A and B are shown apart, each in its own frame.
Chain A
Amino acid sequence: MILTPESVAKIKEKMGKYPHHKSAILPAITIAYWQVGHLNEEIYKEISKIINIPIVEIAEAATFYTMFPKEPVGKYLIQVCHNISCALLGADSLIEYLENKLGIKKGETTSDNLFTLISVECLGSCASAPMMQINDKYYENLTREKVDKILEDMKKQA
């Protein structure tokens, strides 16, 4: 088992809140992600057994949401939106800027294990494009300067 008894208990508690177990898929995935930091097939299998929903449904939901990494990632998971509104306002060059700044390509993690960079579909914050999400937080109306500052702050915190 990858999931700890505490996670299992939390998932079971969530299950009780919904008339149908299927509704517990997202909470369960989130709980697993909090514990492990990423998701994988083994975890889908465990969740599938706990909430009694076929594994395919767990994997479908988990892979739809890019904010759940599917393999170990750095402390900060940078998810830059590359969808239409953000793209129009320069998401592509922003990604390039980040790649150069961090010295990694999209999909990679810095050697100090601090940052992982990916690009994702629309995060629903189009009005404040371009934007990115780092772990659980949105950073909006981005400029290069803003990005510099955000990364600096994070490095300091780490």
Chain B
Amino acid sequence: MADGGNNITLTIDGREITVPKGTTVLEAAKKMGIEIPTFCWHPKLKPVGACRICYVEIEKMPKLQVSCATECMPGMVVHTDTEKVKQGRKAILEFILINHPLDCPTCDKGGECDLQDNTFAHGIDDSRFDFNKYRFIKDRKSTFDDVRLGPEIIRNQNRCILCYKCVRANKEIFGEYDLGVFQRGNLTEIDAAPGQQVDSLYSGNLPEICPVGALTNTDWRYKVRVWKAQQVKSICGYCADGCNLTLWKRRDKIFRSSSRRNDEIDEGWICDIGRYGYQIANAENRLTTPLIKKGNKQVTSTWDEAIGLIARKFKEIKDKKGGVCIGGMISPTLDLASLYAFSKYFRTVLHSNNVDFRNDYKMLAEKYGDTFGKMASLEFKIADIEKSDLILVIGSNLIKEHPIVNLRVRKTVTKFGASLYTLNPFATKSGDISTDEIIFNAGTLEALINGICVSLISQKLNASDVDVSNFGSMANPNTVSSASKITGISEERINALAMALGKAKNITLIVGEYIKASPLRELLSIALNNLTIIAGINKKGQIGFLYKSANSKGAEKLGVIPYPSPNLIGKMKEIWKYYPDSNGLAADRMIRAAKKEEMDAMFVIGANPIWAYPDGQFAKDGIEKLDFLVVADLFESETTEKADVVLPLSSWAEYAGDFINLEGRLQHFSAAIKPQNGSLPAFDIIGRITVEMDKPIFESVEQLNNEIKLLLAVLPEKAAQSLKLGEVKYSEEKISPDFSIPLFVTDDLHHYGHHTKEAKSLAAFGSEPYAEISPAMAEKLQLENTEMLRIESEVGKIILPVRISEILDNNVVVISRNFATTPVNILQMRKKRIDRVKLSKVED
């Protein structure tokens, strides 16, 4: 019976259970281990009661009830296994199968199909229906009805049981409107929206949740029977969200990746990059053998020769000029063991602190202890976003940077009613659910934040224990009206946001790439620190300066930067009995040193600075000046081209290891396949070099892992946030009237870094570069979609086809960097806070 109003006791199959109010009969039965068949029910979707297979008998109710959509009531007596229930299930299955083709032998879902399983368990083996089955393609006897809904989805309507899970998830969870249910009755069809394709970043989830083979992913269609595959527990190796994956393999080839639901992180959804990104492992043009430059040409070589040469050269340079003349850049998509081995190798063998995992940020800090670093080490939990009644996203194109955090934000807003405020220099996809989507003039963020702070103070909404009396003299602008003038955001909107922040009970602050990539990141971090103190976000909610890549957080925690925390250095010294006392150089300083011929050699693993560094000319000039460059990567790249030694590197699917996601969560992944094409994992490459140099740094991966454990333990989980307000003075940027349009370089929606273009399925979503502009801008330049746009900055010029965005609505240009033919970073300059360009139409 009801106790205190919030719990309900009922009886299911003769046993009592107490559940929270609002629990459905199905959920209660599940808790008791009672299995009820379902089709349209999904743990993360609102119930609709469409398929009716989940029938149960409830005493005092005359008819069978659908357990998925019936709430538990006090005293209810439920039976899940009576004759009547069994009859009901049989009838429903007979009904569902009326038009179903039963083409299981050629259906990819076979072996993991709910319709097969439920019919097997509860159905009958015959049907009373003796008419011709309705066929969506009537002129053929076969069940063939392949309609491509998107680049990677095929629909077979004959198999569809109209559970609507695909359409519901698409709208409810992903906020996408490219798929719908059309017509009615037996003509009902699942199809792409008029004039559209199903090609959102989450599209690959739709076949995964389809209970039958009506929707199939084309990447593994007709390739393997699922029961003949081996499933391997993995973690996504792309962004920092850390989705849990299952990789499916057969005969040392991966053919599929699916979600391995983890409710604390991904809730069973993954983005298409995680779904199809495994294809880089078995891609055709992997590097297959070490290459050594002889004369002007890279010629094939052997691991022994290459390792021998590297060991000799690095030793020579170190002995003659010192380890400080060698620099190391490593990709934060590598595992902990590799990152750690890299740092240990540089520090203990080469005696150099020049190690960095960040090769695409402008003007990195040169010492430990900056505000940015402190903010970035604060604790953040994806699941805790749900506790917030206000979410503030600053400087982040959330869907691109953190697809799964984006879903959690959407859920918190659309399901739990939180308000969302986004502050960006251009419109993003989050706009549709934002309470206010604030698009400020590029390069004025600190003025906007100051404005919000002053507004909080003047509305007396600031945290009570903070002394704000001096804030006026520390801030410029220090009035809402001047902040409004600078940023282009009205005073009302600034005040409304401040009021919302002041009134909110729990706030999640998410800070993205535009702050991290900015040469003014320290100033912006101080401004944001002020905001978190004045609005009390540090005490009511969480602050997420979210790291970008699968293991960026791990790299930070292991100190794969030139200036780790003193605690960390202390621990390294203790483990290694050594720590170099030279000053280390951050990635961009290394390039500068190379340019000035103060650096002789560089060891780059998995990274591609010539392509990634936001000043292409600078990166190229620097790297070309090196005497000796070693690059390990999966594919040829802009940087491997310049290398004296190129080493084939394994992808994360080819070895076991650990990543630390943006929450600081350590997650282990298993090896799905053996290292492909003669490649080696990074830790192995490093190990071999150290052995060759007679300075082995580890005997086994276990040893590395033990040392890693020691290092991870020293880091205080909660780094102390500075609770002092800092000075934030905005100074106006000089903008040349010729080059006035802000340029933003990002990853394409379906790409991540420089590898994914080699994944066929991801390339199917887009493989050609383009420049995105707003409709108004297109009109001004008299450009139609796909016409050519000339983009010029003070230092470079490129020409790209234009894409008129449905989202952008101000004067900016956004360019994806993922495609080989776009050296978009040649437009960028490392000291410029905002890269600016001029645009013109290319007349043919």
* Chain A interface (Cβ < 8 Å from any Cβ of B): 41, 44-45, 54-57, 59-60, 63-64, 66, 83, 121
User: Are B177 and A57 interface neighbours, CB within 8 A?
Assistant: yes
User: Are B184 and A45 interface neighbours, CB within 8 A?
Assistant: no
Is B433 in contact with chain A by the CB < 8 A criterion? no
User: Are A66 and B184 interface neighbours, CB within 8 A?
Assistant: yes
User: Are A55 and B184 interface neighbours, CB within 8 A?
Assistant: no
Q: Tell whether A64 pairs with B195 under 8 Å between CB atoms, given A56-B178, A56-B179.
A: no
Q: How many inter-chain contacts with C-beta < 8 Å in the A-B complex?
A: 38
B178 — which chain A residues lie within 8 A by C-beta? 56
User: Are A63 and B177 interface neighbours, CB within 8 A?
Assistant: no
User: Are A63 and B182 interface neighbours, CB within 8 A?
Assistant: yes
**A–B complex contacts, Cβ < 8 Å, 25 sampled:** A41-B195, A44-B194, A45-B194, A54-B177, A54-B193, A55-B195, A55-B196, A56-B177, A56-B178, A56-B179, A56-B180, A56-B193, A56-B194, A57-B177, A59-B182, A59-B193, A59-B194, A60-B181, A63-B182, A63-B183, A64-B182, A64-B183, A64-B184, A121-B184, A121-B185
Most buried by A among B181, B193, B195: B193
Choose from A55, A64, A121 the contact partner of B193 (Cβ within 8 Å).
Answer: A55
Bound CA span A155–B836, Å: 70
A56-B180, A59-B182, A59-B194 known; 4 new pairs, CB 8 Å cut-off, are: A55-B194, A60-B181, A63-B183, A121-B184
Bound CA span A45–B193, Å: 11
Choose from B180, B195, B196 the contact partner of A57 (Cβ within 8 Å).
Answer: B180
**Which residues in chain B, 166-199, are within 8 Å of chain A measured between CB atoms?**
177-185, 193-196
Bound CA span A60–B181, Å: 6
A57 — which chain B residues lie within 8 A by C-beta? 177, 180
B185 — which chain A residues lie within 8 A by C-beta? 83, 121
Bound CA span A55–B181, Å: 12
The 8 closest A-B pairs by CB, nearest first: A54-B177, A56-B193, A56-B180, A63-B182, A121-B185, A41-B194, A60-B180, A56-B177
State the Cβ distance, A64 to closest chain B Cβ, in Å.
5
User: Are A60 and B182 interface neighbours, CB within 8 A?
Assistant: yes
Bound CA span A2–B196, Å: 21
Bound CA span A63–B181, Å: 9
State the Cβ distance, B346 to closest chain A Cβ, in Å.
53
Describe A's contact surface by its main secondary structure.
helix
State the Cβ distance, B124 to closest chain A Cβ, in Å.
22
B177 — which chain A residues lie within 8 A by C-beta? 54-57
A55 — which chain B residues lie within 8 A by C-beta? 177, 193-196
**Which residues in chain B, 136-186, are within 8 Å of chain A measured between CB atoms?**
177-185
B180 — which chain A residues lie within 8 A by C-beta? 56-57, 59-60
Interface residues in B, total, Cβ within 8 A: 13
A121 — which chain B residues lie within 8 A by C-beta? 184-185
Bound CA span A64–B188, Å: 8
Chain A, Cβ-Cβ closest to B188: A64
Most buried by B among A54, A56, A63: A56
State the Cβ distance, B35 to closest chain A Cβ, in Å.
33
Bound CA span A60–B184, Å: 9
Chain A, Cβ-Cβ closest to B178: A56
Bound CA span A5–B185, Å: 35
A60 — which chain B residues lie within 8 A by C-beta? 180-182
Most buried by A among B179, B184, B194: B194
**Which residues in chain B, 422-462, are within 8 Å of chain A measured between CB atoms?**
none
State the Cβ distance, A41 to closest chain B Cβ, in Å.
4
A41 — which chain B residues lie within 8 A by C-beta? 194-195
State the Cβ distance, B843 to closest chain A Cβ, in Å.
31
State the Cβ distance, B164 to closest chain A Cβ, in Å.
11
B182 — which chain A residues lie within 8 A by C-beta? 59-60, 63-64
State the Cβ distance, A26 to closest chain B Cβ, in Å.
14
A45 — which chain B residues lie within 8 A by C-beta? 194-195
State the Cβ distance, A119 to closest chain B Cβ, in Å.
10
Bound CA span A72–B182, Å: 19
Bound CA span A56–B190, Å: 11
Bound CA span A32–B196, Å: 22
State the Cβ distance, B723 to closest chain A Cβ, in Å.
44
Chain B, Cβ-Cβ closest to A40: B194
A83 — which chain B residues lie within 8 A by C-beta? 185
State the Cβ distance, A45 to closest chain B Cβ, in Å.
7
State the Cβ distance, A54 to closest chain B Cβ, in Å.
3
State the Cβ distance, B462 to closest chain A Cβ, in Å.
35
Chain A, Cβ-Cβ closest to B192: A56
State the Cβ distance, B177 to closest chain A Cβ, in Å.
3
Chain B, Cβ-Cβ closest to A60: B180
State the Cβ distance, A50 to closest chain B Cβ, in Å.
16
State the Cβ distance, B89 to closest chain A Cβ, in Å.
22
Bound CA span A63–B185, Å: 11
Most buried by A among B180, B183, B196: B180
B179 — which chain A residues lie within 8 A by C-beta? 56
Chain A, Cβ-Cβ closest to B186: A121
Bound CA span A93–B713, Å: 81
State the Cβ distance, A16 to closest chain B Cβ, in Å.
22
B183 — which chain A residues lie within 8 A by C-beta? 63-64
Bound CA span A127–B393, Å: 57
State the Cβ distance, A32 to closest chain B Cβ, in Å.
14
Bound CA span A45–B185, Å: 25
Bound CA span A121–B183, Å: 10
State the Cβ distance, B46 to closest chain A Cβ, in Å.
16
A59 — which chain B residues lie within 8 A by C-beta? 180, 182, 193-194
A56 — which chain B residues lie within 8 A by C-beta? 177-180, 193-194, 196
Bound CA span A41–B192, Å: 13
Bound CA span A56–B178, Å: 7
State the Cβ distance, A86 to closest chain B Cβ, in Å.
13
Bound CA span A41–B194, Å: 7
Bound CA span A121–B184, Å: 8
State the Cβ distance, B326 to closest chain A Cβ, in Å.
55
A63 — which chain B residues lie within 8 A by C-beta? 182-184
State the Cβ distance, B200 to closest chain A Cβ, in Å.
12
A44 — which chain B residues lie within 8 A by C-beta? 194
B184 — which chain A residues lie within 8 A by C-beta? 63-64, 66, 121
Bound CA span A17–B189, Å: 31
A64 — which chain B residues lie within 8 A by C-beta? 182-184
B193 — which chain A residues lie within 8 A by C-beta? 54-56, 59
Chain B, Cβ-Cβ closest to A83: B185
State the Cβ distance, B812 to closest chain A Cβ, in Å.
24
State the Cβ distance, B182 to closest chain A Cβ, in Å.
4
Bound CA span A41–B182, Å: 13
Per-residue 0/1 for B535-553: is the Cβ within 8 Å of any A Cβ (1 yes, 0 no)? 0000000000000000000
Chain A, Cβ-Cβ closest to B183: A63
Bound CA span A66–B182, Å: 11
Most buried by B among A44, A45, A55, A57: A55
Chain A, Cβ-Cβ closest to B170: A56
State the Cβ distance, A118 to closest chain B Cβ, in Å.
12
Bound CA span A60–B195, Å: 14
Bound CA span A54–B192, Å: 12
Per-residue 0/1 for B401-413: is the Cβ within 8 Å of any A Cβ (1 yes, 0 no)? 0000000000000
Bound CA span A57–B194, Å: 10
State the Cβ distance, A156 to closest chain B Cβ, in Å.
34
Bound CA span A105–B180, Å: 30
Chain A, Cβ-Cβ closest to B432: A54
State the Cβ distance, B68 to closest chain A Cβ, in Å.
23
State the Cβ distance, B232 to closest chain A Cβ, in Å.
37
Chain B, Cβ-Cβ closest to A121: B185
